[in-house]
A and B are shown apart, each in its own frame.
Chain A
Amino acid sequence: MSVLTRTPGEPGVAPAQRRRPSRVGYLLLLPGIAWLLLFFAVPTVQLVATSLYDPNGSLDTGYAMTWSFPNYLDALATYREQFLRGLVYAGSATVLALLLGYPLAYAIAFKAGRFKNLMLVLVIAPFFTSFLVRTLAWKSILADNGFVVQSLQAVGLLADDGRLLATSFAVVAGLTYNFLPFMVLPLYASLEKIDLRLIEAGSDLYAGSLTSWARITLPLSMPGVVAGTLLTFIPAAGDYINTQLLGSPSQFTIGNVINNTFLVQLDFPMAAACSVILMAAIVVLVLLYVRRANTEDLV
């Protein structure tokens, strides 16, 4: 149904089993569907409802449903900068992750030889330690009196009072780092499936290695590129851990706004409006992108 979940051989089930009594099928589905409806679909509806509550209410006095659509305009006007910054950060991290991840995935698929499995384990290794602990490690590595900053200052690449922390650079580097495995794994999966004879045929026909990459390998790895960029962009667009730990308030994105407005300011209608707008923006961008990428067989 989508590039993210597609596996080969979808219709490869024996017809005899497709025709089994369907009541069992419904029974098997029921608990999971109920869970997803109750704790994913209903909350999403409630989020949209909350975003339309009367903005003058409060948590203590309760909110009245006034279908207050201006909440959205308010949210956009107040936090336009954070919305845009979030999308720009996520977009930059996605492009960087693709540029870094493609050679790595290519190396694992075609150059690693007997180290292939080891390299794959090392790519998912970051998942074995906590996301927060790793991001805090970056905070220490990039710290003002840390080794990296002092070296850069010594060779003059950074001003004597220059910093890496609390800059957009640190945030984008952190986002790229954190979501890189999500880029590498689908890229590897689609590169590994490529029939090497096609590339050999290309070089038999006098294609140089760059030409055969551009004309054969890259087009065949497009499903991996699409899946990897989506898996990187979507979580990065809502992330507020990297901006909070590696950035400063002037790097804050819409994720920080949603978190703070919900949990600190307790302004539920405004926070919900921001959340709904983020969701809508991502859906629209993803649909446009998928249409551009022209991958068949989506949703």
Chain B
Amino acid sequence: MGLGPGTVLTRGGRWIGEHLVLFLGLVTMLYLLLPIGFVLLMSFNDQLGRQAYEFQGFTLDNWLSPCGPAGLCASVVKSVQIGLLATLGATVLGTLMAFALVRHRFRGRSTTNVLIFLPMATPEVVMGSSLLALFTAGGLAGQLGFWSILVAHIMFCLSFVVVTVKARLQGMESSLEQAAMDLYANEWQAFWRVTFPLVFPGILAAALLSFSLSFDDFIITNFNHGNTITFPMYVWGSAQRGIPPQVNVIGTLMFAVALVLVLGGGMFRRRRGH
């Protein structure tokens, strides 16, 4: 009568087996989220010295004067400008390429695929230094700045756009367009009324990805920025002297905006029934 020690052991073993993976996963999740929590906390830090290692007191000052440190907000504005233009450029060029790859026949398909794949498989330090070598050889070393950062960002965002939009296009049945054409829509109407609305979520995802890649890029920008200071360049520069607490405010704000966009986008999609 009762449970033998063997049964208890197996049962315990099974319980651990069932929950160990979840537990390990949650610990890893904590590791991923810890620095974000730290950034949020430090955005309220009443920082006295230059190097902030500990929470010295609660204050709202940093949030009330996010543009306090000279050049911080200008660098954020610069990053947003570059990010928007790079997103526009990469999304347009990449979407056109994705349509060509999925919907059209042409020669040199595998070469094209390799050319799209390579930038994603190249370390940033190699791409950044290659561009600098090119610009220097072209005699443009003295004129690097906004335009050279933009050119580089469009280049490395492009491949990610192609891959994202291509995945969406491939998952789509072309029978819907054929149905539209059967109902006497011409190709142009079928495209704008049927194809484009269906691909749009993929294009939007690609655009969001491009913006975050561009906004966050440091290494490639560092090689080609001239005197232009983007937000990551600002953070890098001030890291040597100790970063002002307002950088944590900007970091938290970025996090909040992105979270709202992603969650909002998810809710919007669910309501539309996609």
Verify A128–B163 contact, CB threshold 8 A. no
Q: Which residue of A lies closest to B231 (CB)?
A: A130
- Is B133 in contact with chain A by the CB < 8 A criterion? yes
Q: How far is the CA of A125 from the CA of B31 in the complex (A)?
A: 12
- Is A78 in contact with chain B by the CB < 8 A criterion? no
Q: How far is the CA of A26 from the CA of B158 in the complex (A)?
A: 17
Minimum CB–CB distance from B228 to chain A (whole Å) comes to 15
Q: How far is the CA of A123 from the CA of B209 in the complex (A)?
A: 15
- Is B194 in contact with chain A by the CB < 8 A criterion? no
Verify A9–B266 contact, CB threshold 8 A. no
Q: How far is the CA of A251 from the CA of B54 in the complex (A)?
A: 26
Verify B212–A12 contact, CB threshold 8 A. no
Classify chain A: how many residues form its interface, as a range. 35 or more
- Is B262 in contact with chain A by the CB < 8 A criterion? yes
User: What residues of A have a CB within 8 angstroms of the CB of B52 in the complex?
Assistant: 140
Among candidates A9, A36, A180, residue contacting B28 with C-beta atoms closer than 8 Å: A180
User: What residues of A have a CB within 8 angstroms of the CB of B127 in the complex?
Assistant: 40, 43
User: What residues of B have a CB within 8 angstroms of the CB of A199 in the complex?
Assistant: none
**Binary per-residue interface labels of chain B (13-48) against chain A in the complex, 1 for a CB within 8 Å, 0 otherwise:** 000010001101110110111111011001000000
Minimum CB–CB distance from A135 to chain B (whole Å) comes to 8
Verify A134–B39 contact, CB threshold 8 A. yes
Q: A128-B258, A263-B223 are in contact. List 9 more A-B contacts (CB 8 A).
A: A5-B166, A9-B171, A47-B130, A125-B36, A126-B33, A129-B35, A129-B36, A138-B35, A286-B121
Verify B54–A146 contact, CB threshold 8 A. yes
Q: How far is the CA of A44 from the CA of B118 in the complex (A)?
A: 11
- Given A25-B106, A140-B53, A255-B125; A1-B113 close (CB under 8 Å): yes
A selection of 18 A-B contacts at a CB cut-off of 8 Å is A5-B120, A26-B100, A28-B104, A32-B162, A35-B93, A49-B137, A50-B137, A100-B28, A101-B28, A105-B25, A121-B259, A125-B33, A125-B259, A128-B258, A135-B35, A230-B121, A237-B123, A255-B125
**Binary per-residue interface labels of chain A (212-250) against chain B in the complex, 1 for a CB within 8 Å, 0 otherwise:** 000000000000000000100011011111000100000
Among candidates B115, B126, B252, residue contacting A37 with C-beta atoms closer than 8 Å: B115
Minimum CB–CB distance from A273 to chain B (whole Å) comes to 11
Verify A25–B133 contact, CB threshold 8 A. no
**Binary per-residue interface labels of chain B (76-112) against chain A in the complex, 1 for a CB within 8 Å, 0 otherwise:** 0000000000000000011011011111111000101
- Is A195 in contact with chain B by the CB < 8 A criterion? no
Verify A122–B33 contact, CB threshold 8 A. yes
Q: How far is the CA of A134 from the CA of B127 in the complex (A)?
A: 23
Closest 5 CB pairs of A and B: A238-B123, A25-B104, A107-B25, A43-B130, A128-B258
- Given A128-B258, A268-B136, A278-B126; A35-B158 close (CB under 8 Å): yes
Verify A132–B105 contact, CB threshold 8 A. no
User: What residues of B have a CB within 8 angstroms of the CB of A193 in the complex?
Assistant: none
- Given A245-B239, A275-B130; A132-B94 close (CB under 8 Å): no
Verify B167–A7 contact, CB threshold 8 A. yes
Q: How far is the CA of A37 from the CA of B108 in the complex (A)?
A: 14
Verify B54–A145 contact, CB threshold 8 A. yes
Minimum CB–CB distance from A152 to chain B (whole Å) comes to 15
Q: Which residue of A lies closest to B169 (CB)?
A: A13
- Given A40-B118, A122-B32, A136-B243; A28-B97 close (CB under 8 Å): yes
- Given A32-B93, A46-B134, A133-B247; A117-B35 close (CB under 8 Å): no
- Is B73 in contact with chain A by the CB < 8 A criterion? no
Q: How far is the CA of A140 from the CA of B41 in the complex (A)?
A: 12
- Given A36-B158, A39-B152; A262-B129 close (CB under 8 Å): yes
Q: How far is the CA of A239 from the CA of B124 in the complex (A)?
A: 8
Q: How far is the CA of A25 from the CA of B130 in the complex (A)?
A: 30
User: What residues of B have a CB within 8 angstroms of the CB of A145 in the complex?
Assistant: 53-54
**Binary per-residue interface labels of chain A (263-299) against chain B in the complex, 1 for a CB within 8 Å, 0 otherwise:** 1000010011001001100100010000000000001
**Binary per-residue interface labels of chain B (258-272) against chain A in the complex, 1 for a CB within 8 Å, 0 otherwise:** 110011001000000
Verify A133–B53 contact, CB threshold 8 A. no
